[in-house]
Amino acid sequence: MTAVEEHATPMGHGRMHRKEDARFIRGRGTYVDDVVLPGMLHGAVLRSPHAHARITGIDVSAAKAHPKVRAVITGQDLAGLDLAWMPTLSGDVQAVLATDKVRFQGQEVAFVVAEDRYSARDALELIDVDYEPLPPVVDARRALEPDAPVIRDDLEGRTDNHIFDWDTGDKAATDDVFARADVVSTQDMLYPRVHPAPLETCGAVADMDKVTGKLTVWTTTQAPHAHRTLYALVAGLPEHKIRIISPDIGGGFGNKVGIYSGYVCAVVGSTLTGKPVKWMEDRSENLMSTSFARDYHMRGEIAATSGGKILGLRVTVLADHGAFNGTAQPTKFPAGFFGVFTGSYDIEAAYCSVTGVYTNKAPGGVAYACSFRITEAVYLVERLVDVLAYDLGMDPAELRMRNLLLPEQFPYRSKTGWEYDSGDYPATLRTALEMAHYDELRAEQAAKRERGELMGIGLAFFTEAVGAGPRKHMDILGLGMADGAELRVHPTGKAVLRLSCQSQGQGHETTFAQIVAEELGISPEDIDVVHGDTDQTPFGLGTYGSRSTPVSGAAAAVVARRVRERAKIVASAMLEVSPHDLEWEKGRWFVRGDREAGRTIQEIALAAHGDLELPEGIEGHLDATCVYNPPNLTYPFGAYVCVVDVDADTGQVKVRRFVAVDDCGVRINPMIVEGQVHGGLADGVGMALMQVMPFDEDGNHLGGSFMDYLLPTSMECPSWELGQTVTPSPHHPIGAKGVGESATVGSPAAVVNAVVDALRPLGVRHADMPLTPAAVWRAAQGSPIRT
Ligand code: PCD
């Protein structure tokens, strides 16, 4: 592609530079911390040093006496306002500020509002809290022991740490195929607790206008409308008097889906002081207290014939949700979409049960690039398939090829009840194997093994279920997961698209303009995308679970088609023909059989606002609205091949190559899709090789900085080799599927499979993430010690 082509603006889908980058690369974005209001005060949170302790007293008098402090808020103060506890996204409750006990290290205990950020922080040290330490529960298994300390004694009648039991699939049928199987391979594995760690931490500026009663909150939220409704419900504020503005966001990755204590405290602080209050986390606070993902302790069993036909899967999971169940997922799915753990394979039966437990850790289970636990599910099944290949002595590519679903099986109803919309899996795997020169890689590996060198080739094939979701099945706290869109076309043919979803860096201002451009033939440059302000946009559930393209993207296409239909009626009046005689080509309606007789969308827009006599049924203007309720999820998929070299002496892993062939249906902007895949692949390398949020046995959090919690850089990543296949979604208006999380979902298994494959000559069959040099070295020594 030449530079000229790259820069030409496509009249619709295609590669195009991101419109928003004009401000981002000039440092002209507006993030929450850039918001400065007249008279604005600053808040800071006092956090618990203990993982588990009873609070016997709090003395705030010295902090209140600090000359720059305007307010100090404790849990007791909030209790007086009935705000000490707030609902979580999973229907649990979470302490905004602790009243009775602290239940994780870093939990919010008090909030200071001062004239500047430094004074607020200084004053925290003047608060005197009496803690009576209690034994912490750090281990998920320990949490279930009968004598384990009860963490959530705030919940009435609670005598243990058990949150939920959930199962899916057919147990009897699964037991039956296991009884008939020639081979059963079993593997315990841990998907460690990890953190989304967006570059921008979480924060809010709350401004309660006492005169109008209007509350405006500039905040880091991936779901502005859902936040507005929740504030209304929790604080009893009238919803039309709440405005949530989510300005530019420096990454979300699921970290900015929920409501955090600091946001609520900023609102209360503004209400008490009558001034705007800003609260912004620092890096350690972000890593300690807001959002964790995974922490799934899984046992998987896979049953097969000796010829390598997979028959069934049986899985048990112990899910560590931390001290409050803050998991973000549709209500009916306590283990998210883990139910898609049967992956991309044609199997006879499957069953899984998941038990959720409380521990003395920060609330966990956020949808960090996981499409609601699909990351865990894909990791599980892709590791199991490799373990089975190991046990059968089969090539993992061949084993996968033999069991993948075939194109004629779509739409495919999985054994756990998911309806996969479309796919040609073997074609995608073949493309990846060809790009990687798989056979040559295996030959190279064999030669290296002769020389005692450790080279590994890892495969992963994933299927995701994204675009939550059909209102009938999916809601969050009772809010159905449909998305609104509004499109206005001005008299001169320029347009404004208003969306309910919110971009954290995905480039929605570009891709959503392209969706409308494709449908109407108006240049993307002439279409402004408005999002992230509840006063300016229609209701919808926000951006996470790669749902924007599947849901809001569909809404954008449908609303544009509605505009096109209105334009057709206006054009028929302009051309004095029946609408039935008109034909559309991108950008204009013309008379069938007479291409010269036509009107462009711009001409039509002007006429719709002018003095033209409009036909019955059309009042004027072309504007339209839409609420899109998706009929199903979309099912993107992909085949990944990872090549690693392992230094047996140091345990160092070098990811030498990574081939990723993604199929997300029709690509709106291939350049943006590739960027999304690059980011997700880097994420996957980070999780597979470097990341875990560790705790010691006292519940001390040991990952509070980027010196401890490592982020992958270009040094750890190879130059990605991307490929694609395109299988449109049959039910999506433009055939697109989500892609934002695909690479994070698919890549960890490929990397781990590669490292384990490298260690195969040493008899290694499995090793848990993160495969740090120490972990690899220990695995190579035959020690199963976990990191
Ligand atoms: N696309 C295209 N085509 C297709 C698909 C897609 O073009 N077919 C594109 C779109 O439009 C956008 C993107 O791409 O722009 C993405 O998309 P999606 O898939 O739909 O997704 P969304 O919804 O938008 O987003 C979300 C995601 C998520 S979910 C995550 S994690 C991550 C991702 O996104 N995050 C982020 N990516 C990203 N990027 C950035 N830059 N940042 C961020 O933060 Mo979750 O649940 O939240 O955890």
Looking at residue 787, its pLDDT comes to 42
459 and 562, same domain (yes or no): no
Mean pLDDT in residue range 542-561? 98
Q: Quick count: other Cβ atoms within 10 Å of Cβ 164?
A: 14
Is the model more confident about 636 or about 370? Answer: 636
Q: Which atom of ligand 1 is nearest to the CA of 668?
A: 7
- Find the Cα–Cα–Cα–Cα dihedral 698, 702, 704, 706, rounded to 10°: 180
Mean pLDDT in residue range 645-671? 97
Residue nearest to atom 24 of ligand 1 (CA): 548
577 and 642, same domain (yes or no): no
- Per residue, the 3-state secondary structure of 638-666, as one string, reads EEEEEEEEECCCCCCEEEEEEEEEEECEC
Domain count, the chain: 3
CA–centroid distance, 739 to ligand 1, in Å, is 6
CA–centroid distance, 485 to ligand 1, in Å, is 18
| Rounded Cα–Cα distance for residues 524 and 518 (Å) | 9
**Domain carrying residue 574:** 482-628
Looking at the domain assignment, is residue 7 inside a domain? no
Looking at residue 3, its pLDDT comes to 47
Mean pLDDT in residue range 676-691? 98
Residue 299 class from Cβ within 10 Å (0-12 exposed, 13-18 middle, 19+ buried)? middle
The token pair that represents 63 in the structure block: 């902090």
Q: Mean pLDDT over all residues of the chain? A: 96
Residue nearest to atom 26 of ligand 1 (CA): 546
Residue nearest to atom 16 of ligand 1 (CA): 740
Q: Is the pLDDT of residue 4 over 50?
A: no
CA–centroid distance, 221 to ligand 1, in Å, is 15
Could you give the angle at which helices 554-575 and 508-520 cross, rounded to 10 degrees?
30
Looking at the domain assignment, is residue 154 inside a domain? no
Looking at the domain assignment, is residue 194 inside a domain? no
Quick: pLDDT tens for 450-502.
999 999 999 999 999 999 999 999 999 899 999 999 999 999 999 999 999 99
Decide the pairing of beta strands 85-87 and 93-95: antiparallel
392 and 527, same domain (yes or no): no
332 and 421, same domain (yes or no): yes
Looking at the domain assignment, is residue 642 inside a domain? yes
User: What ipTM was assigned to the predicted interfaces of this complex?
Assistant: 1.00
Ligand 1 binding pocket (C-beta < 6 A) is: 198, 222, 251-254, 367-369, 504-508, 511, 543-549, 664-669, 672-673, 676, 679, 736-741
Quick: pLDDT tens for 330-359.
999 999 999 999 999 999 999 999 999 999
Amino acid symbol at 320? D
752 and 649, same domain (yes or no): yes
Boundary (domain end) residue, out of 606, 628, 650: 628
375 and 260, same domain (yes or no): no
666 and 621, same domain (yes or no): no
Q: Is the pTM of this model over 0.90?
A: yes
487 and 568, same domain (yes or no): yes
Cβ proximity of 349 and 276 under 8 Å: no
CATH code of residue 56: 3.90.1170.50
324 and 431, same domain (yes or no): yes
Residue 621, classed as helix, strand or coil, is coil
609 and 638, same domain (yes or no): no
CA–centroid distance, 281 to ligand 1, in Å, is 24
